[in-house]
């Protein structure tokens, strides 16, 4: 009996100082379990539970490394017996870590970064932040300067900088402590994501909510800056003029401080980059868009259905998108 179809990772966007608008396989993509994107380098978690660094920092990490969070000043590692931060980021781990926190092997095996027993970690000081036990977190995601937490009961909490509406509380105020996103209270959530200055969540029913900064249309809402940037521009390689969508001035949205419900069919996965968003739908396994033109409208990636591939997962880096797919 044939085994399950192999899962292959693809990448498109800005990576390794070059733009790749069409998905290309990640080297050794069939051997990857997960990708941890960063700004100048990324971490690969292989099926053999080995951690590899690719990009500006390259190499293989020691065998007791279980997971990582890449940062520009520090590399945050989950090891079999501790959490560690290393500076500068490097695979050889010479000397002593800049910070460490002991973990028992059982805790290390169950941790899903950035969530760890008692709180969460980031690849920059103070590295560890405790969480109130009452939150009962099941998932936590990190933006540039804000945090989105999903509780075991499906409730959403946010805190940190709110100057771009990324907290979803209807204001631009910052929050030092976790606060319930009241606009979504009573709607059980199953997925959450935090981008540079925007956030998103998917309900258990597959509805997609999104909020925060919309400078480049990353919320799939009308963007004035994007419309103005297209005036006089042409489609790359064709010379044909780009026709921006027609919107009244008061229809443009630069900041969406409350969660907005998007009209997408049954979303299963969501991920946010610095200024873009990618979603996987349950029906078609499609997401985002692949050319170099910015857009404030959701567009399917034709590459995957055209190559008879079904998308199973998506992870956004700051300026790139990683997709895990199998043969349909």
Q: For residue 223, what pLDDT band results from cuts at 50, 70 and 90?
A: confident
Residue 231 is predicted with a pLDDT of 52
Specify which of 2-6, 13-17, 186-190, 289-293 reaches the highest per-range mean pLDDT.
186-190
pLDDT in tens, 12-65: 987 766 778 889 898 765 678 889 999 999 999 987 778 989 888 999 999 999
Task: State residue 248's pLDDT score.
Answer: 56
Range in 44-48, 89-93, 319-323 the model is least confident about? 44-48
CA proximity to 200, closest of 162, 161, 150: 150
DSSP assignments along 128-140, one per residue: EEE--GGG-EEEE
Q: Is the pLDDT reported for residue 235 higher than 70? A: no
CB 143 within 8 A of CB 193: no
Instruction: Tell me what the mean pLDDT of segment 106-131 comes to.
Output: 96
H or E element in which residue 106 lies: helix 105-110
If one compares 257 and 243, the residue with the highest pLDDT of the two is 257
Q: What φ, ψ does residue 305 adopt, rounded to 5°?
A: -65, -30
Q: Where are the alpha helices (DSSP H) in 117-247?
A: 224-229
- The H or E element spanning position 316 is strand 309-316
Position with higher pLDDT, 6 vs 310 = 310
Q: What pLDDT does residue 288 have? A: 44
Token output for 117 = 């027993």
Residue 241 reports pLDDT greater than 90: no
State the pLDDT confidence band at 285, using cuts at 50, 70 and 90: low
Torsion of CA 81, 86, 92, 94, to 10 degrees: -90
Instruction: Please tell me the predicted confidence (pLDDT) of residue 237.
Output: 45
Task: Give mean pLDDT, residues 90-94.
Answer: 90
Q: Please measure the distance between the N-terminal and C-terminal CA atoms of the chain and give it in whole angstroms.
A: 18
Whether residue 197 is predicted with pLDDT greater than 70 in this model: the reply is: yes
**Residue 265 — very low, low, confident or very high, per pLDDT cuts 50/70/90?**
confident
The pLDDT assigned to 2 comes to 57
Q: What's residue 120's pLDDT? A: 98
Mean pLDDT of 194-221: 95
Structure tokens at 94: 């010479």
- Verify cis geometry, omega within 30 degrees of 0, for the bond prior to 126: yes
pLDDT given at position 228: 73
To 5 degrees, how large is the angle CA 222–CA 223–CA 229?
Answer: 135
Structure confidence at residue 309 (pLDDT)? 93
Residue with tokens 């976790």: 178
Question: Please, which residues bridge with residue 272 across strands?
Answer: 277
Label residue 328 by pLDDT band (50, 70, 90).
Answer: confident
pLDDT score recorded for residue 20? 81
327: phi then psi, degrees, rounded to nearest 5: -65, 135
pLDDT on residue 77:
97
Proportion of the chain above pLDDT 70, given as a percent: 87
Handedness of CA 154, 155, 161, 163 (dihedral sign): positive
């Amino acid at each position: 009996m044939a085994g399950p179809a192999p899962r292959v990772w693809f990448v498109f966007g800005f990576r390794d100082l070059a733009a790749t608008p069409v998905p290309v396989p990640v080297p050794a993509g069939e051997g990857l379990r997960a990708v941890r994107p960063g700004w100048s380098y990324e971490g690969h978690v292989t099926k053999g539970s080995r951690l590899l660094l690719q990009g500006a920092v390259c190499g293989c990490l020691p065998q007791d490394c279980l997971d990582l969070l890449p940062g520009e000043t520090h590399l945050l590692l989950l090891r079999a017996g501790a959490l560690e931060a290393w500076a500068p980021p490097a695979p050889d781990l010479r000397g002593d870590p800049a910070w460490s926190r002991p973990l028992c092997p059982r805790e290390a095996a169950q941790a899903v970064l950035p969530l760890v027993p008692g709180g969460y970690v980031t690849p920059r000081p103070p590295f560890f932040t405790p969480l109130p036990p009452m939150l009962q977190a099941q998932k936590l995601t990190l933006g540039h300067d804000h945090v989105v937490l999903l509780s075991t009961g499906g409730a959403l909490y946010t805190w940190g900088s709110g100057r771009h509406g990324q907290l979803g509380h209807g204001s631009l105020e910052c929050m030092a402590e976790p606060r319930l996103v009241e606009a979504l209270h009573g709607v059980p959530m199953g997925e959450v994501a935090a981008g540079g200055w925007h956030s998103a969540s998917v309900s258990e029913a597959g509805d997609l909510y999104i909020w925060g900064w919309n400078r480049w249309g990353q919320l799939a809402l009308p963007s004035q800056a994007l419309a103005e940037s297209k005036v006089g521009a042409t489609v790359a390689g064709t010379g044909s003029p780009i026709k921006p969508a027609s919107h009244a001035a008061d229809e443009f949205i630069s900041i969406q401080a409350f969660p907005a419900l998007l009209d997408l069919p049954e979303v299963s996965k969501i991920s946010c980059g610095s200024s873009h968003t990618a979603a996987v739908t349950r029906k078609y396994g499609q997401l985002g868009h692949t050319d170099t033109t910015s857009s404030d409208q959701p567009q399917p990636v034709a590459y995957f259905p055209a190559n008879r591939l079904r998308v199973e997962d998506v992870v956004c880096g700051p300026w790139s998108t990683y997709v895990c797919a199998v043969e349909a």
